[in-house]
Amino acid sequence: MFHETTARTRAPMNDVKTATLRARAMRSARRAAGTPTRPCLARRVAAAAASSAAAAAAQQAPGKLRELRPAIKHKREGRVQTENGAVTYYREYGNPSGAPVLVVHGGPGAGCFPNHARFFDPEFYRIVLADQRGCGLSRPRAQEGNLRHNNLDALVDDFETLRKHLDIDRWMLFGGSFGTTLSLAYASSHPSRVWAMVLRGVCLLRKEELDWLYRDGTHGGGAGALFPQNWLKFVSQLPPDMRDDPVAGYRNMLSGAYGQAARDAAAGAWLAWGMAVGGGLPGVDSGVLRFDKKQMQDAARDARVVPARSASAASTAVSGEVPSYVAQATLENWYVACDGFVRDHPLLDRITDQMREEIPVIAIHGRNDFVCPVRNAYSLAEAWPESDVRVIAGAAHSMYDPAIRNELLEATDEMTKYFK
């Protein structure tokens, strides 16, 4: 099932509230009309008709977006040995006897943070936060030389090793951005081990998605067309002869072949580009988007064009453990360069009848998400018609976007009814 809330821009808080209230009204209307919360594809038209009337009535209703739950301390932490010498770090929060949920972070390589535990009722959930292979407090951190063992299948296997280590029978997956990719991959490999999924910012790692974010700007399109200043900074970090294919260019820079300083600068520039796009369009609050020649010149001047490779630079390529941000940039670039490891077996093709029948899914997607375009949410709804896909007007990519945060909190509460 797919539905999209409608509101104006995110600027006035009332409009964000309206979007959220409309989403609630749609769900209430379906229940009031006797329509299942997760209807099949054939029943979506009837559900949409009931939802439209309720949404119109909700526009003037009072309401308040929810804040994160209070911070809590973790109950325990540990490490588990996985394949090829990797070690996965994890922490547990909440009720040790509660409904298990695994937070599947994005990036890849972004790692988990204590705030992630605040999206759940700690009395109901046993909350597991795990840093994926090569990032955060897991070891070794990703860098040139150990990437060949870092792929989607390896991450799925790491989670299965962790599940067995924690003596968990079935868990809910709470994945965002790349975390939705990994959640879908895990669920398709181990459907009987997943009792529910809450997804945010649907990422399918299709070639057109990756090109939109990292390549099409070279030809004046993609996300670079929406963020031209940031795109200029992004490509200007590369030598001119590498700019036709920024993914390959950054692959060279992040390898350390041009020295540690150049590698670290490239990592910062790679992540800065993703953060700029993830934050949504600038100027939306005022309704005015301003670009001027001086800003464009400053963008080019601030970028650091690296020198040609030298023997002395290569000798200082990697000294000691890489910083976490370098590991994240390296992993993101690696997965993009490898087409997400899904080219031969696309994620949507992995969805089985068992998954559709047994795993309830709520997917939250911002209408103004330019990292993972909203068409991804449509694609998921078509491939998995029983899923509850909610597109939030005015919202962007971040899980901390007020409207996205609100819907995620609602979703984790709703999912409690499915745990047995």
Exposure string of 41-59, with b = 16+ CB inside 10 Å and e = fewer, is eeebeebbebbeebbeebb
Report the alpha-carbon distance of residue 234 to residue 239 in Å, rounded: 11
Sequence-distant (≥ 6) Cβ neighbours of residue 389 within 8 angstroms = 1, 2, 3, 202, 363, 365, 377, 378, 380, 381
Sequence-distant (≥ 6) Cβ neighbours of residue 47 within 8 angstroms = 1, 3, 30, 33, 35, 39
194 and 187 Cβ atoms separated by less than 8 Å: yes
Choose among 334, 319, 318, 346: nearest CA to 135. 334
150 and 331 Cβ atoms separated by less than 8 Å: yes
Choose among 124, 98, 128, 125: nearest CA to 116. 128
Choose among 131, 151, 61, 29: nearest CA to 90. 131
How many secondary structure helices (H) and strands (E) does the chain include? 15, 9
Query: Which residues form the catalytic set?
Result: 177, 369, 397
Report the alpha-carbon distance of residue 348 to residue 208 in Å, rounded: 15
Report the alpha-carbon distance of residue 142 to residue 140 in Å, rounded: 6
Other Cβ atoms less than 10 A from the Cβ of 319: the count is 9
Strand-pair partners of 172: 101, 196
Other Cβ atoms less than 10 A from the Cβ of 76: the count is 10
